[in-house]
Amino acid sequence: MNDFDEFTSLLKIATQAINERFFNLPVAGQEESLYRERVYCYELYHQLRTNWPADLNEYTLSGEIDKSGHHLIDENVIPDLLIHIPGKMEGNLVIVEVKPVNFNREGIKNDLKKLTSFQREANYDHAIHLTYGSDGNEQIILEESRMIQKDNVEEIDLDLIEFWNHDNPGNEAKILK
């Protein structure tokens, strides 16, 4: 099994372990819970670290590294998760961007630009866009992404990105594309 396959197996295990309170955050005085991306990402990070296999020990899992001012990366970006070798620009495995299923178009556009840029300029081998939640039409992320790409063909390449969805707590995330 190659490193990326090992990571995607781990991603399935980690997402399956995320329970309801990290998936939809209860809000005091409010009947409905809310998707909170940072809460979900922190729990995903925890589950990934808890189950990190020895096969991936050459990599470091990092969350929300501020890349502003990096001399090799043109943009001021903060990726949700990086599976990389700190201090090196080659051999970095994957960048992961996360969005709740009730995303806004501008947020998706920024994520797609970031994912494309990290593959093109920062030499990441893979890019994953992970949505979480279920609104009955998870495929809409693919449709929206295609529409966004049409207006940003120089900055976004969907062929470089795997799309995943984690529909409900207790289920594992699955590839959409």
How large is the average pLDDT for residues 147-167? 92
Q: Model-level pTM?
A: 0.90
pLDDT tens for each residue of 11-56: 999 999 999 889 886 667 777 766 788 899 999 999 999 999 988 8
Residues comprising the chain, all counted? 177
pLDDT band, residue 69 (cuts 50/70/90): low
Phi, psi dihedrals of residue 35, rounded to the nearest 5° = -70, 130
What was the pLDDT predicted at 77?
Answer: 72
pLDDT tens for each residue of 81-131: 999 887 777 789 999 999 998 888 888 999 999 999 989 888 899 999 999
Sheet order of strands, 81-84 included? 60-63, 81-84, 92-100, 124-132, 162-166, 174-175
How large is the average pLDDT for residues 156-173? 94
Contacts of 11 (CB under 8 A, 6+ apart): 48, 96, 128, 130, 164, 173
What was the pLDDT predicted at 130?
Answer: 95
> From CA 65, how far away is CA 138, in angstroms rounded?
28
> From CA 174, how far away is CA 177, in angstroms rounded?
9
Asked if residue 140 lies in contact with residue 147, where contact means CB atoms within 8 angstroms, the answer is no
